[in-house]
A = this chain, B = another copy of it.
């Protein structure tokens, strides 16, 4: 884009003492002026694009999206969940201190006078704010809405700056692991229902991680940062994770190696039992509490017939600060998702998917951060990684070359001759009034062929053809578009 030198710009040269701030200000003024006069030639100088990291959904994508939503919402409703909605922006201070290092990814609104606002970063913090604000101590709710992160977009892999989250949470003081198990059951049902191929749900517990760090000799103030390094194990081999711990985070080699032994472990209820007997691990009260809960969780999952997909995995860490107990993450292990091969410590080679499609955990402290008196409301929840699921479904539809219908029209009201617009409008109106999905072409005299072509292109199964003879006889010809049959005169 050329930038024409204006007298205003030239005059800047006459101020040798100008500061950078003044320059910025002048530039901003000029650009604003430029925008007001409509760009370089005063017309049509728009950049025709959506904001970085965002996308439109076209009708085909919307049709797929609606199908996915309907499966997921169906599951949430089957489990008796209510739904709520919250504004897209929150007071900035509501989000402050909830996301650790990721806070830099929050979108702030411009200060235009009034409150300082930020776009929501997830649905969990607004949910906690909602509970505290309305003094709600018990709720089972889902919330499907867009959230915003100024992250590096990787749109081909379904990572956007604006993306849907799809959360189910249970708030309330209940007996241990019952709501937690229901969350995992829900993940199991949804991923099975969406037919995305095989999957695994990894579970762990923040208390087991913290206990493990303690018995391995990680200093208290390094728990969080070491935890976020462990979190990278699904993307990095152990050697690199170890290097980061020792070289960047200053952990002793001995502590790192001890962690390395634990985080290679995977199993079920038996592993939890074994670790409860583990000489080192059993020294930590926290770890023991976590391990007992894992055992209880597996016993409930057995009743829910969901253990086939669930793995207790000590390498699962999850980044967010607010988790306090059980954590979990579901990954697809097939379905054309990019997979990496890792060498498990027991020597067996395993195919581990990098495609996380759901995650969650228990966060008993978050609501208390909002309550003036710090009253806690225990919560556990799960977030379905819906954008990645959309991407997979879109790829599948593409690969299968299946025709996705974007409307539900049942009948096209067409005419074989000219001058039948009024008759067509009258008939289509009667169909609408009768609750039938119907369309008519917005032309006075459309050709029959173009009317039939429209039916074929958009998958309309029936066409009602008006002609002079039919009008005389008081009937309408109804033709099946696919077979060209005309079985019915009404």
Contacts and interface: CB of A to CB of B under 8 A. Distances in A.
Interface of A: 35-36, 38-39, 43-44, 46-52, 54-59, 62, 65-66, 77-94, 96-97, 107-112, 114-115, 117, 119, 129-130, 132-134, 139, 141, 146, 148, 150, 162, 170, 172, 174-175, 178-179, 181-182, 185, 189, 300, 303-305, 369-374, 406-409, 421-422, 425-426, 429, 432-433, 435-439, 442-444
A48 B429 CA distance: 51
B84 A62 contact: yes
A87 B56 contact: yes
Contact of A79 (B35, B39, B374, B439): B439
A93 B426 CA distance: 44
Contact of A303 (B55, B86, B429): B429
A462 to B, nearest CB: 13
20 contacts: A35-B97, A44-B373, A46-B129, A46-B369, A51-B89, A57-B84, A58-B84, A59-B83, A59-B84, A59-B141, A77-B408, A78-B436, A79-B432, A80-B438, A89-B162, A108-B109, A109-B110, A174-B442, A175-B443, A178-B443
A369 B77 CA distance: 45
B407 A80 contact: yes
A78 B112 contact: no
A44 B112 CA distance: 26
The 10 closest A-B pairs by CB, nearest first: A174-B442, A59-B82, A54-B87, A80-B439, A57-B85, A108-B110, A178-B442, A80-B409, A303-B425, A48-B133
Given A56-B87, A85-B56, A407-B81, A47 B93 contact: yes
Contacts of A436: 78
A366 to B, nearest CB: 12
Given A56-B85, A96-B35, A304-B425, A90 B178 contact: no
A78 B47 contact: no
B303 A93 contact: no
Contacts of A62: 82-85
Given A39-B93, A44-B370, A59-B139, 14 more contacts: A48-B133, A51-B90, A52-B115, A56-B86, A77-B437, A82-B406, A88-B119, A109-B109, A110-B111, A178-B425, A303-B425, A303-B429, A304-B425, A304-B429
A141 B298 CA distance: 48
A423 to B, nearest CB: 9
Nearest to A444: B175
B97 A38 contact: yes
Contacts of A172: 442
A390 to B, nearest CB: 11
A153 B146 CA distance: 23
A51 B117 CA distance: 7
Contacts of A174: 442-443
A145 to B, nearest CB: 9
Best-buried of A44, A51, A59, A443 by chain B (most CB within 10 Å): A51
Best-buried of A85, A90, A94 by chain B (most CB within 10 Å): A85
Contacts of A47: 91, 93
B132 A48 contact: yes
Nearest to A86: B56
